[in-house]
Amino acid sequence: MSDVGIGPNGNPPGGPEGPQLRIQIVGQYVKDLSFENPGAPMNLTARPGIDLGVDLQARRLDGERFEVELKLRVSAKADDKPLFLLELAYGGLFLIQNAPEEILQQILLIDGPHLLFPFARRIVADAVRDGGMPPLMIEPIDFAALYRAKAAEAQQVRAGQPLS
């Protein structure tokens, strides 16, 4: 007996092509969080320059379960003096069913971080605020553009071309 049922039109759910793609967040968690505030309390009134770094990693845990890790690194400086440094590794456990292998990486590196980002953003804002500064509200990140840039960079490396 099959797990796929019959829909109202006599076809399997998702249409005649087969079952529909399913993405479910099973859990979310802070893997690592670090906040350094070396200049406090003297830096609490400074207007910092902010540098944001983003890194993504994804791995298969078993057949349908995947971990996506969104890493954010925020450093703030004023007058070339460090004000604070925040590093966050925020993870999500995803159940992904009926995804064609050719789009799985896009799902993991675009859709996964897109779903995790609002929660990671809140953690960053709270940590910075708890460090004595105004909350830092990171602008939304275009994970599709980030994915395309990384793919183009990887293609250049495979072709032996220098990176620009």
- Residue 88: closest CA among 71, 63, 110: 71
pLDDT at 8 over 50: no
Residue 146 lies in a domain: yes
Assign residue 129 the CATH number of its domain.
Answer: 3.10.420.10
Query: Which structural domain, as residue segments, surrounds residue 55?
Result: 22-159
Helix (H, G, I), strand (E, B) or coil at 159: helix
pLDDT at 1 over 50: no
Residue 68 lies in a domain: yes
- Token reading at 52: 């944001």
Residue 17 lies in a domain: no
Residue 7 lies in a domain: no
Number of domains in the chain: 1
Could you tell me the pLDDT band of residue 7, with boundaries at 50, 70 and 90?
very low
pLDDT per residue over 49-90, tens digit each?
A: 899 999 999 999 999 999 999 999 999 988 888 889 999 999
Residue 3 lies in a domain: no
Looking at residue 131, its amino acid is G
Could you tell me the pLDDT band of residue 161, with boundaries at 50, 70 and 90?
low
Residue 107 lies in a domain: yes
pLDDT per residue over 141-154, tens digit each?
A: 999 999 999 888 88
Residue 98 lies in a domain: yes
Residue 8 lies in a domain: no
pTM recorded for the entire structure: 0.80
Name the burial class of residue 87, with classes exposed (0-12), middle (13-18) and buried (19+) by CB atoms within 10 angstroms of its CB.
middle
pLDDT per residue over 76-127, tens digit each?
A: 988 888 889 999 999 999 999 999 999 999 999 999 999 999 999 999 999 9
CA 33/CA 88 separation, integer angstroms: 5
Question: What is the pLDDT, as a whole number, of residue 6?
Answer: 37
Could you tell me the pLDDT band of residue 133, with boundaries at 50, 70 and 90?
confident
